[in-house]
Amino acid sequence: MWTQRLMWIAWPAFLMAGVLEILVFALVDPHDLHWFGQPVPLSREGVYTLAFFSFWAVTMVSSALTTLLAMSPFELNRCPVPDGERPDDCRKTSGCA
């Protein structure tokens, strides 16, 4: 289940990071970028790589938040411990949250 959710998060984020990379660098030359008033001391490929992974990280956070918000209350509130092994303070039953 977690592998499937990870793919729900990572794959769309990967695709959108590629799209963002194309859109941004169609308009911006990496050699024209400055960081704190100084030219970025990386090659074009270095800038492309850092930008891609930055875009991927941001879109993964967005996808993860969407996945979290799409979870049902039952998924969030269920007790993962079987009925017979639950501590006394866990009042949840297997039928309802």
Q: Where are the domains of the chain?
A: 6-30+41-71
Round to whole Å and give the CA distance between 8 and 2: 10
Burial of 2 (0-12, 13-18, 19+ CB in 10 A): exposed
Query: pTM of the predicted model, to two decimals?
Result: 0.71
Greater confidence (14 vs 93) lies with 14
Quick: pLDDT tens for 21-54.
Answer: 999 999 988 888 888 999 888 999 999 999 999 9
pLDDT in tens, 60-88: 999 999 888 888 887 777 777 777 777 76
Count of helix runs (H) and strand runs (E) in the chain: 3, 2
